[in-house]
Structures are given as structure tokens and as C-alpha cells.
Amino acid sequence: MLTRRAALGLFAATPLALALAPKAALAAEPQVFQNPTAINAIDPVAYFTKKKPVKGKEKHRVDWNGATWHFSSAKNASKFEANPEAYAPVFGGYCAFAASKGYLAPTVPEAWTIHEGKLYLNANLRAMELWRQDIPGNIKAGLANWPGILG
């Protein structure tokens, strides 16, 4: 029998446990991380050209792979339209480190890496540090999990 104190402890721990647990998908997740636009409305081309995250604008939008992407300029939108696979992040813009561990996590614009001409995003700066400790191994593990982790 559960005591009142034990029951309260379980209820108190539940939100933390849910926040730390890998996201269990009830339905398949979209192939591209959207919040509500692809990759937090950050221009993916700018990671390559400006070497930093740059906020995209709605007026420079492209629909691709089930998501709306925003770009900081018409030129970047055109570059993306001409070859989206060259600029779109691997693992659909979900956290590359999480993908290597077999689950999905959202990403933040500041945690990114370009490795061998491909863009990888991470959930936070700590995940980016862990990702960078073994990029080839993490890519291999992530690709083995992808796209199955979408649900």
C-alpha cells in the first residue's frame, strides 16, 4: 500500500520524469522539425554563407519536404530551392545527438555544426559538445536510427 507521502513524491516526480524521458510518439512525427516553421524559422543557407544562425523572413519562404522554410533573402531562398538537400539539416533539423541515441529532440539555432558539407543541429550547447566528441560515430548511429525514430 502506498503511503500519502510516497504518493505525493510520485506525483511530484512525474513532470520531471516526463520532461527527461525520450519523447514517445503517438503518431508519426513530421520529417522536419517545425516550431511552427522548419528549424525555428532560421535560414539554413545562412549557416553555410554567414557561418551563424540568421532569422528567416516569411516573405522569403519555400515549402519543401512537408514544411515551410524561411530565408533571410530571396537569394538564399533560391539557393535552397535549387538544391534543398545541400542546405537542409540532416535528421530533418531534429537534434543530431538525440538521433544518435535513438530518440527525437527539438533544436535551438545556436547549437549547430557543419561537418563534411552537411548541417547538423542540436538541442542545446551541451548536446552539441557531446555530438562533437565523436561526429563520425554519432552520424553512423543517427543514420542507423533514422527515419525509424519518427514513429
What would the grid cell of residue 97 be?
545527438
Q: What is the mean pLDDT of residues 121-128?
A: 98
Query: Are 30 and 67 a contacting pair, CB within 8 Å?
Result: yes
Q: Give the integer Cα–Cα distance in Å for 138 and 132.
A: 8
pLDDT tens per residue, range 47-93? 999 999 999 999 999 999 999 999 999 999 999 999 999 999 999 99
In a domain, 77, yes or no: yes
How many distinct structural domains can be found in the chain?
1
93 part of a folded domain: yes
CB 119 within 8 A of CB 43: no
Domain range for residue 138?
28-150
pLDDT at 59: 98
pLDDT digits (tens, 9 = 90+) for 136-150: 999 999 999 999 999
56 close to 72: Cβ distance less than 8 angstroms: yes
Q: Is residue 122 part of a domain?
A: yes
Structural domain includes residue 3: no
Question: What's the CA gap between 103 and 74, in Å, rounded?
Answer: 34
**pTM for this predicted structure:** 0.81
Asked if residue 53 belongs to a domain, the reply is yes
Q: What's the sign of the alpha-carbon dihedral 62, 53, 102, 88?
A: positive
Q: For residue 21, is it within any domain?
A: no
